[in-house]
Amino acid sequence: MDRHPLSPGGNTLVILDTCVLLPSRLSDVLFDLTLDGLYFAYWTADVEAEFLRNWPRIHPDASKSGSKRLKAFQRAASNGHLITGYDDTAFMSRVPARVHENDRHLIAAALVMVNGLDEEDN
């Protein structure tokens, strides 16, 4: 895969939230871009749970297809998509207090990702 020219380190890493996974057209475009190598998609177990919980409300005509869609996202991200360890106190304690409670896991996941990149550089 070619490195993206606009990313300083050569790779663009993105943490996706439920709000961009639920709209079918938007998530289709985002995963097409992932498959084209524009960026690497990541998310948390909290995002997966929220996605599955909200899918039937957003897509009542296809309420049972949420788990299939989530599996497609996982395959598109080459199954290396899930950020773990974000709920560790070492990361959660670094999330600024002004971050909305529902989004704290995303910031902590970003901190996990940055920590991993720092360790990789060392």
DSSP SS3 for 43: strand
Distance from C-alpha of 92 to C-alpha of 101, rounded to nearest angstrom: 11
**What is the model's pLDDT at position 63?**
86
Give the pTM. Answer: 0.85
First-to-last alpha carbon distance for the chain, in angstroms, is 23
pLDDT band at 116 (very low <50, low <70, confident <90, very high): confident
The average confidence (pLDDT) of the chain is 88
